A and B are shown apart, each in its own frame.
Chain A
Amino acid sequence: MADLTYDPDLHGELFSAYLDGQLTPDEVTIVSELLDGDEDAIREFVALRNVRTSLRMLPEFEVPAALLPDGHLGDRLSAYLDGELVTLEHRRVTKHLVECSECRAELQELDRARIAVRSLPGVETTMTQEIAATPRRHRRRRIVAGGIGAAAAAALVVGLAVGGGDEPVLVLNDLATQHMARASAEPGFAVLPSAIEVAAP
């Protein structure tokens, strides 16, 4: 081992990996022997270390804030109302709603808009006829969506009652009643009890 001579092509790579702490103990031994007195080896090592240091000292840019989620529910609120969230995400959203009055307010507005669209004159009648005439598979989807709306509204009522928030509970109750009335024709809104359970603690 004493006659180990430095060969840039052979050993340079070891220096880089050594600087990154990626060598085996045996390779580390080789590097320390090479650096023991060989000027070319030392020069190469120092140069690589300088390059590495200047790369690592490059300033880090802040990612523009607009690219990151702001922690609120955003488009998941509509998906929530429409019953499109899978269990785990549904639970997270419910949990967030209990804690965040901003998202509760937004959910309430979305829900109002949703109800307004759904209560357009004529829609009710056609829908009722359609429901009577459509095969059960199609019916279920529509009703389940309504049921989750009811669950959401009910969860809000509970959340507000527990949190003692000052939003008009009456309006929410009203939302809940409307949803309940609409959805009560079907057992599809069994989500209701679990939603209350999540909101209660």
Chain B
Amino acid sequence: MTDELAPTWEDVAHRHGRKIYNFAYRLTGNPDDAADLVQEVLLRVRKGLPSYQPGSFEGWLWRITRNAFLDGIRKKKRRPESALPEGDHHSLGSSPSPDEVLSSIRLSDDVQSALLKLPYEFREAVVLCDVVGLTYDEIAEATDAPIGTVRSRIHRGRKLLRGLLTWPI
């Protein structure tokens, strides 16, 4: 019965932990913040699951994730727009990676630092869409915004990125 319907928090952790981690990593460029977020989200999921009503699980989970992320920022007294750390992701280079991976990381570094220059709502919409892979409906539910707003934010985010990224053609 309910056994099949409601996932355990361990299920959620294994199924979505990586996406949650990548969500925070791409929004902040910082692995420590990403790790903190995963812990906080799993805690909230564990507390919240007993009262979860079967519905859009993605919407539910990502609303929790987003709120935890924003609470984390408030707690650290950072201003979400300009004061998010920029360039912390360079510590990535210290992890042992083969050369061919390194070159692709250099490129993704450019994308990452361009992402960090976007205003928060645009960055969030783009990350939820292109990194996490949510539909517009799910993003609308997760961010408490009308779907038209979501569509506009994703587009404006990508348009800004287009101006920030230089293409190696």
Binding site for B on A (CB under 8 A): 12-13, 15-17, 20, 22, 47-48, 50-52, 54-64, 67-69, 71, 86, 88, 91-92
A22 to B155, CA, bound (A): 12
**B21 contacts A61, C-beta separation under 8 Å:** yes
Total number of A-B contacts with CB less than 8 angstroms? 93
Binding site for A on B (CB under 8 A): 2-3, 8-10, 13-14, 17-18, 20-22, 25-26, 31, 34-35, 38-39, 42, 50, 101, 104-105, 107-108, 111-112, 115, 126, 129-131, 135-136, 151-152, 154-155, 158-159, 161-162, 165, 167
Given known pairs A22-B135, A22-B136, the reply for A56 and B130 (CB within 8 Å) is yes
**B162 contacts A63, C-beta separation under 8 Å:** no
**A51 contacts B155, C-beta separation under 8 Å:** no
Given contacts A16-B158, A60-B18, 14 further A-B contacts (CB under 8 A): A12-B155, A17-B154, A20-B136, A22-B151, A48-B158, A55-B115, A55-B161, A58-B26, A58-B112, A58-B131, A59-B101, A61-B31, A63-B18, A69-B10
Contacts of B108 in A (CB 8 A): 57-59
Of all A-B residue pairs in the complex, the 7 with the closest CB atoms, nearest first, are A55-B130, A16-B155, A63-B21, A13-B155, A63-B18, A51-B158, A69-B10
Report whether over half of chain B's contact residues are helix, strand or loop; otherwise say mixed. Answer: helix
